[in-house]
Structure 1
Amino acid sequence: MSSAKTSLALIAFALAASACASTPKVDKEVELAMQEALRPASAEERAAANRADPLTRANFWAKESNKDAEDLKVAIEFARALREIGSHDRAVDVLSRTLIVHPDSPDVLMLLGRIHMAQGDVATAGRAFQRATEVAPQRSETWAALGTTYDRQGQHRLAQTSYLKALEIEPLRTTTLTNYGLSLVLSGDLVGAEAKLRLAAANPDAGARVIENLALVLGLQGKFDDMKKVSGAAAPDQVVDQNVALLQGLIQPTRSWDALTEPAAPVRLAEAETPLAAPASRETEEAPQRTLRQRN
């Protein structure tokens, strides 16, 4: 073999040997990089992300979801973050895919129902809440949420049955008592409504909205002195007087949800609490601002 050929052979052998020697190192570095990319964020990193602004939170949980799309906690946090930035359709998609893997998760079903409620799809929300009552009948908020869907559809007796089941589990839950009271208003039982709303208003977490609902129910019964006493703690005297005067001129039988919820200035409107807020969970079922407001 000529010296030139011998040199070329030696160079080729050296290059091949070098490549063989470096390949395990490169493969190991790639493997480590992939492992790091797929490493779930720590509890501290997740907590920090949840304190960030909504868009940052959504981007963080999107990355976590890409690492493990079947992780239940990640899917729920991702859907919540999407909901907060108004990406409801994508949130529904995330939760729907999660249900394939976790079909009996009440948390997924409740969040899915709340998003459908926020979009005005009461029937679909009702199906999600109904399923939640089946997989978690011991959780009062599942029955309370189902009750709100019945009320929205004018099925007040069914709604009240659901609220009763919720109260059997958690007798003094403020939002359930409030919703039950307003449901009784919708079916014409103002005395029963007053009783439930008084119980709700007596709770430490009642808030001004519950007080306003109680005051309005008292006014609907013509109990204007009681209405003033109840309202006085939550509204200026001028507003209370205006509300009383308004009700004195407008009291009429309650026949439908639409009739009750038609805004009637200058009554101060109350916001619905946010599904299932406020409650113990971050969310509650929402509804547009109205004169009488249901809460979950």
Structure 2
Amino acid sequence: MSRPLSASRFLELKLNPSLPTLARTTRVALLAPLAAALLATGCASNHFVTPQPAAATHLPDAQADMHVAESALEAGDTQLAVSLFEKQLKTDPQSKAAQLGLGDAMYQTGDLARAGVLYARVAVVAPDDARAMLGLARVALRQRRLDEAEKRYRVLLAAHPEQAVAAEGLGSTLDLEGKHAQAQAVYRAALQQHPEVAGLKADLGLSLILAGDVRAGANVLLDVAGLPDAPPQARENLALAYGLLGNDQAAKRILVTDMPADSAEDNLRFYEQLRERLATATRDTGDARSAGGAQTQPVSAASVAPVGVLR
């Protein structure tokens, strides 16, 4: 999927309208993949709380509907999930499980306003409900209310430090705020507890790229992008790194595993635009490091490997 600069410029001005022109130019270019990867997909989109079954006093049919609804939600069948959760709410308007399930379904369909209302209703009666806390944080992030999202994710992570999804959400929020060093600290701390979570490594790699350390980001992504269960974002982020490093051949080989060749070519053209913008910023300042251009020397195709470190 191509990543137009106009959307990223809008996002950057929303986040840091007072940045110097040069810094804004560089950050706009680097924030474009982040906006596409995080906001379009909805970072930390999977709830980590075990779905709550209908109360024992409900009819067995209602319990069965709830289990089917949760299964449909997990499978991405939001239409079925919505119909069953709404059916349950007609029977029991106070059902937390149905409100949370419907909130998750609305979030998946992009109806953030209704999702927020449903999560908030549960939070009023159960302020410590982790699923409601996560839902409100996700909605705030998707709506670009970043201060609120950061606060909510910090509370959630403090209450559930064992949950990788809370760390992913906080780190993503910090990256969107431009606080890359803080985001990387969050990812690394979470990886100490969850070294098996590929999403954390993908996020860490992207954060390093956004901070201007493209080669270090590629090194992190190489360790995860070749895994059978690696998220597509890991490969997309690695392709971005190679694109910024000037290795279009390596970037294209990665991209075509997940998208048509035409879309891959669109991405390659976008990477070329980024390199040109970074090169211009470097010439204007004479400070390649501050412009994020210190790592833009071409990398040979021979250095591409499923895992390992760039040399």
Aligned-partner residue type, residue 64 of structure 2: E
What is the aligned counterpart of 1:253 among 270, 278, 283? Answer: 278
* 1:200-215 equivalences in 2 (<5 Å): 200-215=224-239
Query: Contact 1:129–1:142 at 8 Å: present in 2 too?
Result: yes
User: Are residues 1:47 and 2:67 paired?
Assistant: yes
Aligned-partner residue type, residue 97 of structure 2: K
Q: 2-side partners of 1:49 and 1:247: how far apart?
A: 42
Identity in percent: 25
Q: Given the superposition, is the C-alpha separation of residues 80 and 237 from structure 1 closer, same or farther in structure 2, using an over 3 Å criterion?
A: closer
Matched with 1:27 is: none
Matched with 2:16 is: none
User: Are residues 1:170 and 2:160 paired?
Assistant: no
1:88, CA displacement in angstroms?
Answer: 2.8
Aligned residues: 221
Structure 1 residues 207-216 or 191-200, which shifts more?
A: 207-216
Matched with 1:138 is: 162
Q: Given the superposition, is the C-alpha separation of residues 90 and 196 from structure 1 closer, same or farther in structure 2, using an over 3 Å criterion?
A: same
1:54, CA displacement in angstroms?
Answer: 4.3
1:39, CA displacement in angstroms?
Answer: 4.5
Q: 2-side partners of 1:62 and 1:230: how far apart?
A: 42
Greater relative contact order structure (CA < 8 Å, 6+ sep): 2
Matched with 1:104 is: 128
Instruction: Specify every segment of 5 or more residues in structure 1 that has no aligned partner in the other structure, as ranges.
Output: 1-36, 261-296
Instruction: Specify every segment of 5 or more residues in structure 2 that has no aligned partner in the other structure, as ranges.
Output: 1-56, 282-290, 293-311
Query: Contact 1:105–1:135 at 8 Å: present in 2 too?
Result: no
Q: 2-side partners of 1:65 and 1:232: how far apart?
A: 44
- Which structure would you say has the larger Rg? 1
RMSD: 3.4
Tell me the TM-score normalised to structure 1 length.
0.62
1:186, CA displacement in angstroms?
Answer: 1.1
1:92, CA displacement in angstroms?
Answer: 1.5
Query: Contact 1:232–1:240 at 8 Å: present in 2 too?
Result: yes
Aligned-partner residue type, residue 63 of structure 2: A
1:43, CA displacement in angstroms?
Answer: 3.0
Matched with 1:265 is: none
**3-state DSSP of counterpart to 1:42:** helix
* 1:12-23 equivalences in 2 (<5 Å): none
* 1:42-81 equivalences in 2 (<5 Å): 42-49=62-69, 51=72, 54=78, 57-65=81-89, 68=92, 71-81=95-105
Tell me the TM-score normalised to structure 2 length.
0.59
